[in-house]
Amino acid sequence: MDKNLSALKDILAEISDLNNASAVLGWDQQTYMPKRGAESRGQSQGTLDKIAHDKFTAKDVGRLLDALEKETPKWDLDSDEARLVKVTRRRYDKATKVPSAMVAEQAELVSMGNQAWQEARSKSEFSIFEPHLVKLLDWSRRFAELFKPYDHIYDPVLDEYEPNMKTADVKAIFADIRPKQVKLIKAIADARQVDDSVLHQHFPEKAQWDFGVQVITDFGYDWSQGSIDKTTHPFQATLGPGDHRITTRVSEDFFNPYFFGTLHEAGHAMHAQGMSLDLARTPLYNSASLSIGESQSRMWENLVGRSKPFWEHYYPKLQKVFPEQLKNVSMDTFYKAINKVSPSFIRVEADEATYNLHIMLRLEIEIAMLEGSVEVKDLPALWNERFNEYLGITPPDDAKGVLQDVHWSFGLLGYFSTYALGNLVSAQLWEVIQRDIPDIADKVRNAEFAPLLKWLNEKVHKPGAKFEPQEMVQNITGSKINGGPYLRYLETKFSEIYGL
């Protein structure tokens, strides 16, 4: 192998080992760590992260990249080698541009800001969080300014989660779909409402658990490189190549959280399990972006797991698991219940049709905040006004409004849109899947998921982070990320359910 490439890979491998160790610590913290282990765990995590950061931003990495960029023409532009150099350069330039003092400053702002946010939310009092948000926002603005020149000040923060995605693109995508989604939701609101009371019965934990585990096993979740545990907030974690776990939660009074949450996290994990091991211990062993990752979780959760063919197979099985609760409930009633559309205040509880509107609201507000066109103190009023415009209801208080999400208190500006983009990408991919596997509905109806997983493996999982998200979606679907397919999907599905 090329000497410089080999030297770079050695450094990246060590950093990847440290990041994997850090992921083990994080997973354990959420699952099995006794509560008095928290302080020491924070210290270990801090030390690992600092060492990894120091190693990555060392001058050696810069010199090797310089040397390799001179050699790059000898590799095919889409080769692992050329892409590794390209992606590492991007990340190196970003990492080295942020002074250590600013990194430390943010850690402090986040630590205090998150505490204030918790208090503010529990008291539903925005003013408690306001001064912290002002500082966090100021930090994000200074962060963005390090990356001048840019087309838009929001570009650098968005770029953290969606490499090379531009604010103008996201705005255009959302501007296109917003009025159509609003119109759809109005139509649904005027139609005969769906009754989802069947989902709010008592479903004993063990039976729920086994049923969900069976479904993700059928999907192809590989237990030899995975596991499932309980946590307050479900997540998927990659602890290293060959180790892609999920966590979940169970509510005995409501069917949805465990079942769809588990499908969602398994979707993330199967994505990770499918990444090419040739990319292991490099930055390419990763999702192309958060939206690409979310397209996988939402596909298994919604396009598969909330579809009619899926339940044609699984509903009779579920009735056997819960005979008392479901024997008198028809498949049609159950299918409509799990797809009920109803504007609600809390994003994480939103249905497929209203979810994106929650995101658009946040994106507009974030952009306005960063541009300075709205002042932090005016956020609650702006939130409530826009919320009513999009969803037809007004939050009763800030806890159910502008204070509901943790992200800003963690300094995560630019993150939200990836959730909505993931929905759009999932539908774009699905249209291609329907072309490539014309009997996909029959396959799902027979619980034959191998062809679907194989397709996703080849197209989306294997390449890891070799391609930028727009590039990957273009390569697979022939178009950039856009809302057309998702809108068609929503309109078809909900017209049938609500008889529009």
Q: State in angstroms the smallest separation of the CB of 249 from its own copies.
A: 18
The closest alpha carbon to 174, from 364, 459, 398, belongs to: 364
Q: What is the DSSP string of 121-187?
A: HHHT-HHHHHHHHHHHHHHHHHHHHTT-S-SSTTHHHHHTTSTT--HHHHHHHHHHHHHHHHHHHHH
- The catalytic position among 162, 265, 301, 468 is 265
CA distances from 397 to 126, 410, 439 (A): 10, 22, 48
Binding mask 79-118 for its own copies (x = CB under 8 A): ----------------------------------------
d(CA 290, CA 283) in angstroms, rounded, equals 14
Which is closer to its own copies, CB of 19 or CB of 140? 19
Q: State in angstroms the smallest separation of the CB of 29 from its own copies.
A: 9
25 is an interface residue for its own copies by CB under 8 A: yes
Helix (H, G, I), strand (E, B) or coil at 495: helix
Q: Which residues of 17-55 are buried (b: 16+ CB within 10 A; e: fewer)?
A: ebbbbbbebbbebbeeeeeeeeeeeeeeeeebbeebbee
49 is an interface residue for its own copies by CB under 8 A: no
The closest alpha carbon to 314, from 447, 431, 166, belongs to: 447
231 is an interface residue for its own copies by CB under 8 A: no
Considering only residues 242, 392, 396, 438, which one is a binding residue for its own copies as defined by CB under 8 A?
242
Binding segment for its own copies (CB under 8 A), chosen from 42-50, 105-113, 294-302, 335-343, is 42-50
d(CA 52, CA 319) in angstroms, rounded, equals 51
Q: Is residue 265 among the annotated active site residues?
A: yes
Q: State in angstroms the smallest separation of the CB of 114 from its own copies.
A: 21
d(CA 470, CA 289) in angstroms, rounded, equals 10
Binding segment for its own copies (CB under 8 A), chosen from 14-22, 308-316, 445-453, 488-496, is 14-22
Cβ distance 58 to 91 under 8 Å? no
What is the β-pairing status of strands 236-240 and 243-248? antiparallel
Q: 């010199």: which residue's tokens? A: 63
Considering only residues 44, 115, 256, 342, which one is a binding residue for its own copies as defined by CB under 8 A?
44
331 is an interface residue for its own copies by CB under 8 A: no
Considering only residues 5, 7, 11, 33, which one is a binding residue for its own copies as defined by CB under 8 A?
33
Considering only residues 62, 131, 240, 257, which one is a binding residue for its own copies as defined by CB under 8 A?
240
Which is closer to its own copies, CB of 82 or CB of 228? 228
Q: Residue 128 corresponds to which tokens in the numbers above?
A: 């408690």
Considering only residues 239, 429, 444, 476, which one is a binding residue for its own copies as defined by CB under 8 A?
239
Site for its own copies in 256-315 (CB under 8 A): 280-281
Q: Residue 379 corresponds to which tokens in the numbers above?
A: 């956020």
Binding segment for its own copies (CB under 8 A), chosen from 25-33, 165-173, 315-323, 469-477, is 25-33
Residues that bind its own copies (CB under 8 A): 13-14, 17-18, 20-22, 24-25, 28, 31-41, 43-44, 46-48, 51, 222-227, 229, 239-243, 245, 280-281
- For the annotated catalytic residues, the residue numbers are 265
